Amino acid sequence: MANQSAKPDARSKLLDAGLSLIRTKGYSATTVDDLCAAAGVTKGAFFHHFKSKDEFGVVAADHWSQTTGARFAHAPYHDHADPLDRVLGYVAFRKALLKGGVPEFTCLVGTMVQETYETSPAIRDACDRSISGHAETLEADIEAAMQDCGLSADWTPRTLALHIQAVLQGAFILAKAKGGAAIAADSIDHLTRYLELLFPPKDIDHQSKNQTRRT
Amino acid sequence: MANQSAKPDARSKLLDAGLSLIRTKGYSATTVDDLCAAAGVTKGAFFHHFKSKDEFGVVAADHWSQTTGARFAHAPYHDHADPLDRVLGYVAFRKALLKGGVPEFTCLVGTMVQETYETSPAIRDACDRSISGHAETLEADIEAAMQDCGLSADWTPRTLALHIQAVLQGAFILAKAKGGAAIAADSIDHLTRYLELLFPPKDIDHQSKNQTRRT
DNA sequence: GACTACATACCAACCAGTCGGTATCAATCG
DNA sequence: CGATTGATACCGACTGGTTGGTATGTAGTC
């Protein structure tokens, strides 16, 4: 089932080609022939592994969740002792990922859900699982940071975690519109500033508004 | 040239149909036949007014800029005397627009640029014009609010105006993934909170340090 | 010999775009 | 005044290439 690194089979070649093609051209504009050509396989292979293009979209979204999930699970921001530093480290990590061409750092499921949310419930659900599942990995740290700061807020860790995802998705749209990552980095800076303002510095007991920035 | 309310011609019927269809199904999945059927005209009329589907996309983006621009130009948030209140009023206005079905409150150009940024530079530029032009309408108020608060920041009014657009675009993606506006409203609330934290109450000669929120 | 993993050939529907034609109106001219 | 011209707006049948999907074949493996 799981394919070892040695010989990539048609299925995983198609999925990897899909991640790249769909992020570049969108889901609808990516044809099955495009996918097969990019993967170096034939149409017979495609419909052997996926019973329709829509099912491929669902599997591609799940594949995206797995590959990106693994990347974030091993990222260094988890090493910080302080939960707030882990959250800020996550955002800094996302900013550091803004390298290369726009199709290389943008999000598959954010792109795909825009086109399919009304026409393909299965793909929409898969994209929701991907975004929401990823956001959930931040909730525990956000909650711990709230407790550390003694915050009793009228918002929940869940909405802040999803807000962080919203800023990232919106930053990707700006990057696409402007043809570069610079404006996305600016927007992520604003997000970092929000988090720093939201969680007042705790370590110094009641010292006034000293603006020491973490990293 | 400009068409009066009495008899909508094929061109404007096609553009209005495009705003609705593209927001629902995306640009690539919206066919010329779809547009003609929704507008109640024939293909001959379409290619009489637009020399290609891509040109239609460009004109549709410009049409979107005009119709939404008019709506915001006359919105009540401009009436506030305080520039920060105008900015916060803008964001509150955007939140209040989250009514009806998802295709009705989401953004045409944000959807379209995701699919076309690599394949159609003309459409991408039109979408950029729309987003950036709209963001510019906020810059003067942001700059005035910065001066009122005596802020000397390491960010510019332009990046904050675009960050606001990024949050809105990202909120739309979340709404599409989750099938409802609720999560988008939560994200806009976080944006409002950021603005309130960013601009400290300036009340020295107006009022005491009252924490009343400007709606 | 059954099963998996592909490849090849093919199809009906659909796609953007074309083309010849018609309806309407305003300006021009005898 | 009526006839002619020309420009604009629109119609709808048509086309050639493309689309997602299928039917059938085959090489390797248990």
User: What pLDDT is attached to residue B206?
Assistant: 45
The least confident of A192-206, B100-114, B134-148 is A192-206
In this model, does residue B211 exceed pLDDT 70? no
Residue B183 buriedness (CB in 10 A; 0-12 / 13-18 / 19+):
buried
Question: What CA–CA distance (Å, rounded) separates B99 from A97?
Answer: 35
What pLDDT, in 10s, does the model give residues A148-174? Answer: 998 888 999 999 999 999 999 999 999
In this model, does residue A178 exceed pLDDT 80? yes
Q: Which nucleotide is nearest to B9 (CA to C1')?
A: D9
User: What pLDDT is attached to residue A151?
Assistant: 86
User: What pLDDT is attached to residue B166?
Assistant: 98
Contact between A2 and A87 (Cβ < 8 Å): no
Provide mean pLDDT across the span A135-143. Answer: 98
Instruction: Give the up-direction half-sphere exposure of residue B36: CA atoms within 13 A in the CB hemisphere.
Output: 14
Residue B53 Cβ under 7 A from any strand C atom: yes
A192: its two tokens: 């970092």
**Which of chain B's residues have a Cβ under 8 Å away from the Cβ of A110?**
114, 173
- Give the CA B49 to C1' D9 distance in Å: 9
In this model, does residue A4 exceed pLDDT 50? no
Where residue A200 falls among pLDDT bands split at 50, 70, 90? Answer: confident
Task: State the best of B34, B114, B209 to mutate against chain A, taking most chain A CBs within 10 Å.
Answer: B114
User: What pLDDT is attached to residue A202?
Assistant: 62
User: What pLDDT is attached to residue A59?
Assistant: 98
Contact between chains at B174 and A162 (C-beta distance less than 8 A)? yes
Buried b (16+ CB within 10 A) or exposed e, A133-170: ebbeebbebbbbbbeebeeeeebebbbbbbbbbbbbbb
B54: its two tokens: 């891509």
Q: What is the signed CA dihedral for A34, A36, A40, A42, rounded to 10 degrees? A: -140
Higher pLDDT, A207 or B111: B111
Contact between chains at A109 and B177 (C-beta distance less than 8 A)? yes
CA distances from A32 to A17, A23, A27, A53 (A): 11, 15, 10, 7
Where residue A61 falls among pLDDT bands split at 50, 70, 90? Answer: very high
**Which of chain A's residues have a Cβ under 8 Å away from the Cβ of B159?**
183, 186-187, 189-190
User: What pLDDT is attached to residue B61?
Assistant: 98
Higher pLDDT, A209 or A143: A143
User: What pLDDT is attached to residue B175?
Assistant: 98
B117: its two tokens: 């940024």
Residue B187 buriedness (CB in 10 A; 0-12 / 13-18 / 19+):
buried
In this model, does residue B7 exceed pLDDT 80? no
Residue B35 C-alpha from the chain's centroid: 22
Give the 3-state DSSP-derived string for chain B, with helices as H, strands as E and coil as C. CCCCCCCCCHHHHHHHHHHHHHHHHCCCCCCHHHHHHHHCCCHHHHHHHCCCHHHHHHHHHHHHHHHHHHHHHCCHHHHCCCHHHHHHHHHHHHHHCCCCCHHHHCCHHHHHHHHHCCCCHHHHHHHHHHHHHHHHHHHHHHHHHHHHHCCCCCCCHHHHHHHHHHHHHHHHHHHHHHCCCHHHHHHHHHHHHHHHHHCCCCCCCCCCCCCCCCC
Question: What CA–CA distance (Å, rounded) separates A196 from B182?
Answer: 25
Contact between A117 and A124 (Cβ < 8 Å): yes
Q: Which of A64, B30, A50 is nearest to A36 (CA)?
A: A50
User: What pLDDT is attached to residue B201?
Assistant: 76
Where residue A201 falls among pLDDT bands split at 50, 70, 90? Answer: confident
Buried b (16+ CB within 10 A) or exposed e, B88-121: bbbbbebbebbeeebbebbbbbbbbbbbbbbebe
- As a whole number, the mean pLDDT across chain B is 92
**Which of chain B's residues have a Cβ under 8 Å away from the Cβ of A198?**
193-194, 197
- Give the CA B5 to C1' C5 distance in Å: 62
Provide mean pLDDT across the span A5-20. Answer: 84
User: What pLDDT is attached to residue A206?
Assistant: 44
Which of residues 47-86 of B have CB within 7 Å of strand D?
Answer: 47-49
- Give the CA B44 to C1' D9 distance in Å: 10
Cα distance from A3 to chain B (closest Cα, Å)?
30
The least confident of B6-20, B60-74, B121-135, B137-151 is B6-20
User: What pLDDT is attached to residue B107?
Assistant: 98
pTM: predicted TM-score of the whole model, two decimal places: 0.92
Q: In this complex, which of B127, B166, B189 lies closest to A170 when CB atoms are compared?
A: B166
Phi and psi based region of residue B21 (left: phi greater than 0; alpha: psi -120 to 50; beta: remaining): alpha
CA distances from A48 to A55, A209, B93 (A): 12, 63, 50
Sequence-separated (6 or more) residues with CB below 8 Å from residue A75: A90, A93
What pLDDT, in 10s, does the model give residues A65-83? Answer: 999 999 999 999 999 999 9
Classify residue A73 by its DSSP letter: H
What pLDDT, in 10s, does the model give residues B56-104? Answer: 999 999 999 999 999 999 999 999 999 999 999 999 999 999 999 999 9
Q: In this complex, which of A103, A171, A173 lies closest to B118 when CB atoms are compared?
A: A103
Higher pLDDT, B151 or A21: A21
In this model, does residue A195 exceed pLDDT 90? yes
Where residue A7 falls among pLDDT bands split at 50, 70, 90? Answer: low
A16: its two tokens: 């990897």
Q: What percent of chain B has pLDDT over 90?
A: 86
Contact between A165 and A99 (Cβ < 8 Å): no
What pLDDT, in 10s, does the model give residues A75-128? Answer: 999 999 999 999 999 999 999 999 999 999 999 999 999 999 999 999 999 999
- Give the CA A59 to C1' D28 distance in Å: 27
